[in-house]
A and B are shown apart, each in its own frame.
Chain A
Amino acid sequence: MVFHYVNIKNADDLYFRSSVRNIYFYILLTYMLKAFHHIGKYFLLLARVFKKPDNYKLYGRQTINEMVSLGLGSLGLISIISLFMGAVVTLQTVAAIDSPLIPLYTVGYATRQSFILELAPTIMCLILAGKIGSNISSEIGTMRITEQIDALEIMGVNSASYLIFPKIVAALFTIPMIVVYSMFLGLVGGWVVGLYSGMLTVEDYLYGIRWDFKTFDVIYALIKTLFFAFIITSIPSYHGYYTRGGALEIGKSSTKSVVYSSISILVINYILTQLLLI
């Protein structure tokens, strides 16, 4: 009966199918072992990163440099994206409201909620994972293959800590600020639509963005952002730090770092939303 169900005709067929199953199992096992290997290596690297700094003055200077590079360097891109995204979300919400029973101020409310809860923290961090992540990975990867990291090690410097710790600290300070700035600009984008499109009044929009405001939503967004900031800097640093080979591998590390950071952001986003909002 069972044989009939899976349509196995003879012993050879059964052997073939079990072999195929074994191959799938083997591939799955290999991927799982690889994943555990990388996760272990990532946490061992973090243990090195969070050792006591060799020189606080140099680390401080490096952190400020990173803040400028990670923070100010991203403001232009974030401004453009936030403004246009705010405008588009507002237009789409206006377009979606057919019923005259739904007040127009819900457009402002929907834009605000979308931006504070998801677009500013998650989407902006996904964009930053691409911009900052590839930058960090290629920078550290280049240092690895040009022996600059070896030079640090020879000097007795904890290279992992010196290179990665200031980036993480800088990101933990600047990325939440960027996200708050993005929230603000997203709402400004919606306001501009209200002002110039004639589809809703500015008064409706402004009433909507203030209606039923909960401070915890911003706190929730900032908590998420702190986790994302850590991911955006630590995962690319890991990929850059363990780059081997040449220019081709730097490119591969960069791509991998963006892919894994983005996936991690999405997974952590789901977990934190479940924990904090539900």
Chain B
Amino acid sequence: MIEVKNINKSFGKKQILHDVSISFLRGKINLIIGASGSGKSVLTKCIVGLHEIDSGSVEYDGRNFSIMNFKQRKAVRKEIGMLFQGSALFDSLTVEENVKFPMEMYTKQSEEEILERVNFCLKRVQLENANHLYPAELSGGMQKRAALARAIALNPKYLFCDEPNSGLDPQTGIVIDNLIQEITHEYDMTTIVITHDMNSVMETGENISFIHQGNIWWTGNKEDILKTDNKELNEFVYSSKIMQKFKGL
């Protein structure tokens, strides 16, 4: 479980996050939804320590990440896997080398054991036979799957996914969402997914937080989201005119 308590974050004079408190549950897909510029990515980067928070705390299973030094944070980060919006695969390495990378960096496993784990991870994301391809040779969906394989290589306790289906067609997007859901349940991970894709929300939303203007505006699950009368959330969910008509807004 990850607990975010009263965090604030500003860039210069512009405050992005206002006293945000939120809990991400273990074994569930925790979605953060919101419009572009609402602070979703900043919140995630604050949670993983890519941005330093101004005040508040982030706790990983009771361990206060915000006050840790570099060495302590490093230990926690080995338990984190992250799938980036643009996949962030290392261009100069093949798919196999990308997935191998965290294992070679942190484990003392033999070459055979590492290769076995790489093949297992690639099979898990349905990307067999792509071992020797470079990221530039992969389609968008394949890149996401390769990045997911790299993210789960060290068997992480926490998985962060920043817009995992952005730039993908709806069907491939759903495949990625289902994969994340299966992996989360299979390995009992605390998974946090940032998205503004309503298909994803309806497919995987077990614990949803709606962020608006740097505040947590609403929390619930995929059933609740259809019944809510929260004005800002409804404007976000039913943004097209036809959907607004359907909802009766």
Indicate whether A and B interact. Answer: yes
Q: B77 and A156: CB pair below 8 A?
A: yes
Contacts known (A156-B74, A156-B77); A150 close to B84, Cβ less than 8 A: yes
Q: B88 and A150: CB pair below 8 A?
A: yes
Is B78 at the interface (CB under 8 A from chain A)?
Answer: yes
Within 8 A of B (CB), among A124-160: 142-143, 146-148, 150-151, 153-157
Q: B50 and A153: CB pair below 8 A?
A: yes
Residues of B within 8 A of A223 (CB): none
Q: DSSP class of B's interface residues: helix, strand, loop or mixed?
A: mixed
Q: B91 and A142: CB pair below 8 A?
A: yes
Q: A148 and B78: CB pair below 8 A?
A: no
Min CB distance B91 to A, Å, is: 7
Residues of B within 8 A of A57 (CB): 104
Contacts known (A148-B90, A150-B88, A154-B82); A58 close to B102, Cβ less than 8 A: no
How far apart sit A154 and B73, CA to CA, in the bound complex (Å)? 10
Contacts known (A54-B105, A58-B104, A58-B105); A151 close to B91, Cβ less than 8 A: no
Residue total for A at the interface (Cβ-Cβ under 8 A): 16
Within 8 A of A (CB), among B225-248: none
Residues of A within 8 A of B45 (CB): 150
Min CB distance A95 to B, Å, is: 48
Closest residue of A by beta carbon distance from B150: A151
Q: B50 and A154: CB pair below 8 A?
A: yes
Min CB distance B70 to A, Å, is: 8
B77 touches which of A58, A143, A154 (Cβ 8 Å): A154
A55 touches which of B48, B73, B104 (Cβ 8 Å): B104
Q: A151 and B104: CB pair below 8 A?
A: no
Closest residue of A by beta carbon distance from B82: A154
Residues of A within 8 A of B160 (CB): 154
Residues of A within 8 A of B (CB): 54-55, 57-58, 142-143, 146-148, 150-151, 153-157
Other than A54-B106, A155-B106, A157-B105, give 9 A-B pairs with Cβ distance below 8 A.
Answer: A55-B105, A57-B104, A58-B105, A146-B86, A154-B80, A155-B77, A155-B78, A155-B101, A155-B105
A-B contact pairs, 19 of them (CB 8 A): A55-B105, A58-B105, A142-B91, A146-B86, A147-B84, A147-B85, A150-B45, A151-B84, A151-B90, A153-B49, A154-B48, A154-B50, A154-B82, A155-B78, A155-B102, A155-B105, A155-B106, A156-B77, A156-B106
